[in-house]
Structure 1
Amino acid sequence: MVAPKNSSSPSLPKSGAISKGYNFASTWEQNTPLTEQQQSAIVALSHAVAERPFPPNLTQDRVPGQGHGLSIDTQDSVADSSAAIEAVLVNTNQFYKWFTDLEAAMKSETEEKYRHYVDTLIQRIQTCDGILRQVDDTLELFNELQFQHQAVATKTKTLHDACDRLLIEKQRLIEFADALRSKLSYFDELENISTSFYSPSMSVGNRDFLPLLKRLDECISYVESNPQYAESSVYLVKFRQLQSRALNAIRSHIQSVLKNASSQVHDAIRNIGGSKPAVSESVEASVIYVRFKAAASELKIVLEEIESRSSRKEYSQLLAECHKLYSEQRLSLLKGIVQQRISDFSKKEALPSLTRSGCAYLAQVYQLEHQLFSHFFPASSEDVSSLASLIDPLCTYLYDTLRPKFIHETNIDFLCELVDVLKVEVLGEQLSRRSESLAGLRPTFERILADVHERLTFRARTHIRDEIANYFPANEDLDYPAKLEQSPEVIEEAQTSEENQDVFKSWYPALEKTLSLLSKLYRCLEPGVFTGLAQEAVEVCSLSVQKASKLISQRSSPMDGQLFLIKHLLILREQIAPFDIEFSVTHKELDFSHLLDHLRRLLRGQASLFDWSRSSSLARTFSPRVLESQVDAKKDLEKILKSTCEEFIMSVTKIIVDPLLSFVAKVTAVKVAVSAGNQNQKLETVGVKPLKEQAFATPEKVSELVLKVNSMIQQELPKVIKKMKLYLLNPSTRTILFKPIKTNILEAHTQVQSLLKSEYSKEEIESINVVSTEDLQVQLDSLL
Structure 2
Amino acid sequence: MYVSYFLQFLSWYSKKEDEWTKREDREYATYLDNLANQKDECNELLVQVEKSLAILRDLSQEYQRVSHKTNSLHVVSEKLLADQSRLIKVRDEISERLNHFRSLDRITQALDTVTLSVHSPNLESALDQLNEHIRYHKAHTEFKDSWSYVARYEATLSRLLSLMVSQVLSGLTSASSQAVATSASHYPRFQSAANSIRPIVALLEARTSVSSEYEDALTECQQCYVSVRESLIGPSVRKTMSELAWKGGYDHCSHMRSACAFLIHVSQDEHRLYHQFFDRQTDVFNKYLESLCTCLYDTTRPMVIHMKYLESLAELCSILRLEMLQEHVSNNREALSAFGNIAERLLQDVQERLIFRTYMYLKTDIAEYKPSPGDLAYPEKLHMMQSLNEQERSALSESRSSLVSVGSATSQEVAKINTAPYNMSEGSPADLHGMWYPPVRRTLVCLSRMYRCVERPIFQGIAQEALTLCMENVQQATNQISANKSALDGEMFQIKHLLILREQIAPFQVDFTIKSMSLDFSKTKTAAIQLINKKSRLFSLSSNNALLEFLLEGSPEVREQWLDSRKDVDRSLKASCESFIGHATRHLMGAQFMMTVDKAENWTLKETLHEQPWVKAEILAELVQSATKSIKTNLTGLQTTMKLYLANRDTEFILYRPIKNNVIGCFTRLQHLIFSGGYTQEEQSLIGCPTPEQVSILLSSVSLVAPSP
Query: Smaller-chain TM-score range?
Result: 0.7 to 0.9
* 1:384–1:439 contact (8 Å) kept in structure 2: no
How far, CA to CA, are the matches of 2:91 and 2:556 in structure 1?
78
Q: Does 1:571 align with 2:472?
A: no
Q: Which residue of 2 aligns with 1:5?
A: none
TM-score, normalising length from structure 2?
0.78
**Cα gap change, 1:718 to 1:225, in 2 (>3 Å):** farther
The 5-angstrom pairing of residues 182-261 of structure 1 reads 182-199=96-113, 202-261=116-175
How far, CA to CA, are the matches of 2:176 and 2:44 in structure 1?
121
Q: Does 1:560 align with 2:489?
A: yes
Q: Which residue of 2 aligns with 1:25?
A: none
* 2:329–2:340 contact (8 Å) kept in structure 1: yes
**Cα gap change, 1:499 to 1:692, in 2 (>3 Å):** closer
Aligned length: 622
Q: Does 1:656 align with 2:588?
A: yes
Shift of the alpha carbon at 1:150?
5.7
Which range moves more in the overlay, 293-302 or 426-435? Answer: 426-435
Shift of the alpha carbon at 1:588?
3.0
Q: Which residue of 1 aligns with 2:237?
A: 338
**Cα gap change, 1:728 to 1:307, in 2 (>3 Å):** same
* 1:422–1:449 contact (8 Å) kept in structure 2: yes
The structure with more radius of gyration = 1
Q: Which residue of 2 aligns with 1:395?
A: 293
Q: Which residue of 1 aligns with 2:345?
A: 447
How far, CA to CA, are the matches of 2:101 and 2:166 in structure 1?
28
Q: Which residue of 2 aligns with 1:410?
A: 308
Q: Which residue of 2 aligns with 1:783?
A: 703
How far, CA to CA, are the matches of 1:498 and 1:490 in structure 2?
13
Q: Which residue of 2 aligns with 1:290?
A: 188
Shift of the alpha carbon at 1:638?
1.7
* 1:254–1:322 contact (8 Å) kept in structure 2: yes
Q: Which residue of 2 aligns with 1:639?
A: 571
Structure 2 SS opposite 1:486: helix
Amino acid at match of 2:219: A
Q: Does 1:352 align with 2:266?
A: no
Shift of the alpha carbon at 1:663?
3.8
* 2:430–2:645 contact (8 Å) kept in structure 1: no
Amino acid at match of 2:443: T
How far, CA to CA, are the matches of 1:248 and 1:695 in structure 2?
120
Q: Deviations over 1:459-494 (max 9, x none)?
A: 212211221122222232223333333332369959
How far, CA to CA, are the matches of 1:181 and 1:422 in structure 2?
67
Q: Which residue of 2 aligns with 1:767?
A: 686
Shift of the alpha carbon at 1:724?
2.2
* 1:531–1:581 contact (8 Å) kept in structure 2: yes
How far, CA to CA, are the matches of 2:177 and 2:376 in structure 1?
74
Instruction: Provide the aligned C-alpha RMSD in A.
Output: 3.9
Amino acid at match of 2:277: F
How far, CA to CA, are the matches of 2:680 and 2:550 in structure 1?
83
Q: Does 1:629 align with 2:561?
A: yes
Shift of the alpha carbon at 1:646?
1.4
Structure 2 SS opposite 1:476: coil
Shift of the alpha carbon at 1:508?
1.6
Q: Deviations over 1:613-663 (max 9, x none)?
A: xx9899x89998543222222222222221222122222223333444444
**Cα gap change, 1:503 to 1:139, in 2 (>3 Å):** closer
How far, CA to CA, are the matches of 1:491 and 1:578 in structure 2?
32
How far, CA to CA, are the matches of 1:148 and 1:742 in structure 2?
140
Q: Does 1:751 align with 2:652?
A: no
* 2:385–2:429 contact (8 Å) kept in structure 1: no
The 5-angstrom pairing of residues 505-524 of structure 1 reads 505-524=434-453
* 1:251–1:322 contact (8 Å) kept in structure 2: yes
How far, CA to CA, are the matches of 1:47 and 1:741 in structure 2?
148
Structure 1 SS opposite 2:372: coil
**Cα gap change, 1:358 to 1:718, in 2 (>3 Å):** same
* 1:387–1:440 contact (8 Å) kept in structure 2: no
**Cα gap change, 1:694 to 1:616, in 2 (>3 Å):** closer
* 2:101–2:149 contact (8 Å) kept in structure 1: yes
* 2:222–2:285 contact (8 Å) kept in structure 1: yes
Q: Does 1:706 align with 2:624?
A: yes
Q: Which residue of 2 aligns with 1:11?
A: none
Amino acid at match of 1:783: S
How far, CA to CA, are the matches of 1:694 and 1:501 in structure 2?
50
The 5-angstrom pairing of residues 518-557 of structure 1 reads 518-557=447-486
Shift of the alpha carbon at 1:707?
0.4
**Cα gap change, 1:518 to 1:716, in 2 (>3 Å):** same
Q: Which residue of 2 aligns with 1:483?
A: 381
The 5-angstrom pairing of residues 588-603 of structure 1 reads 588-589=517-518
Shift of the alpha carbon at 1:514?
0.2
**Cα gap change, 1:303 to 1:45, in 2 (>3 Å):** farther
Q: Which residue of 1 aligns with 2:409?
A: none
Q: Structure 1: 5+ residue runs without aligned partners?
A: 1-39, 51-130, 270-282, 610-614, 675-688
Structure 2 SS opposite 1:744: helix
Structure 2 SS opposite 1:309: coil
Shift of the alpha carbon at 1:425?
2.7
Shift of the alpha carbon at 1:329?
0.7
Amino acid at match of 1:214: D
Q: Which residue of 2 aligns with 1:465?
A: 363
Structure 2 SS opposite 1:477: coil
Q: Does 1:727 align with 2:625?
A: no
Shift of the alpha carbon at 1:499?
8.5
**Cα gap change, 1:499 to 1:441, in 2 (>3 Å):** farther
Q: Deviations over 1:685-713 (max 9, x none)?
A: xxxx7443332333322211110111121
Runs of 4+ that moved beyond 6 A? 47-50, 138-149, 499-502, 590-602, 615-618, 620-624
Q: Does 1:318 align with 2:217?
A: yes
Q: Deviations over 1:199-227 (max 9, x none)?
A: 35654334444432332122223333444
How far, CA to CA, are the matches of 1:590 and 1:180 in structure 2?
84
TM-score, normalising length from structure 1?
0.71
How far, CA to CA, are the matches of 1:760 and 1:592 in structure 2?
60
Q: Deviations over 1:743-771 (max 9, x none)?
A: 11111212323344454444443333333
How far, CA to CA, are the matches of 1:203 and 1:644 in structure 2?
91
**Cα gap change, 1:587 to 1:183, in 2 (>3 Å):** farther
* 1:749–1:773 contact (8 Å) kept in structure 2: yes
Amino acid at match of 1:185: N
**Cα gap change, 1:481 to 1:384, in 2 (>3 Å):** farther
Amino acid at match of 1:339: R
Shift of the alpha carbon at 1:437?
4.1
**Cα gap change, 1:762 to 1:154, in 2 (>3 Å):** farther
How far, CA to CA, are the matches of 1:666 and 1:388 in structure 2?
84
Structure 2 SS opposite 1:629: strand
* 1:587–1:629 contact (8 Å) kept in structure 2: yes
Q: Deviations over 1:117-159 (max 9, x none)?
A: xxxxxxxxxxxxxx9xxx99x9999989978976875676466
Q: Does 1:174 align with 2:103?
A: no
How far, CA to CA, are the matches of 2:118 and 2:263 in structure 1?
36
How far, CA to CA, are the matches of 2:428 and 2:84 in structure 1?
102
The 5-angstrom pairing of residues 86-235 of structure 1 reads 157=71, 160-161=74-75, 163-199=77-113, 202-235=116-149
Q: Which residue of 1 aligns with 2:265?
A: 364
* 1:660–1:752 contact (8 Å) kept in structure 2: no
How far, CA to CA, are the matches of 1:209 and 1:403 in structure 2?
51
Q: Which residue of 1 aligns with 2:413?
A: none
Q: Structure 2: 5+ residue runs without aligned partners?
A: 1-34, 398-423, 532-536, 705-709
How far, CA to CA, are the matches of 1:697 and 1:591 in structure 2?
53
Q: Deviations over 1:255-284 (max 9, x none)?
A: 222222212222224xxxxxxxxxxxxx3x
* 1:324–1:389 contact (8 Å) kept in structure 2: no
Which range moves more in the overlay, 736-745 or 416-425? Answer: 416-425
**Cα gap change, 1:156 to 1:205, in 2 (>3 Å):** closer
How far, CA to CA, are the matches of 2:599 and 2:310 in structure 1?
62
